């Protein structure tokens, strides 16, 4: 999957799903790498590289 080419809404959904799953269980190496890569792309693309802005967004949306 080319994460760089995913629409912003899809990246956000993926990130939230990864966050929920990682709270429930230990992710495999491949899953963790996939989630980390998606998080990096999302932070750069949607939040201009601002981790605090992404964290604030996550806090508002984590229960969706």
Question: Per-residue pLDDT tens for 4-24?
Answer: 999 999 999 999 999 999 999
Task: Give the total number of structural domains in the chain.
Answer: 1
CA-wise closest residue to 34 among 17, 51, 48: 17
Residue 25 pLDDT exceeds 80: yes
39: pLDDT strictly greater than 90: yes
- Which percentage of the chain shows pLDDT scores above 70? 97
CA–CA gap between residue 33 and residue 1 (Å, rounded) = 13
Q: Which residues contact 47 (CB under 8 A, 6 or more apart)?
A: 53, 54, 57
Does any domain span residue 38? Answer: yes
Q: For residue 28, what pLDDT is reported?
A: 98
Report yes or no on 37 lying in a domain. yes
Which domain does 35 fall in, by range?
7-61
Quick check: is 47 in a domain?
Answer: yes
Mean pLDDT of the chain: 95
E strands in 1-64: none
């Amino acid at each position: 999957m080319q994460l760089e080419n995913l629409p912003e809404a899809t990246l956000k959904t993926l990130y939230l799903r990864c966050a929920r799953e990682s709270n429930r269980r230990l992710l495999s190496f491949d899953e963790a790498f996939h989630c980390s890569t998606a998080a990096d792309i999302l932070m750069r693309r949607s939040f201009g590289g601002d981790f605090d802005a992404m964290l604030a967004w996550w806090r508002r949306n984590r229960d969706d």
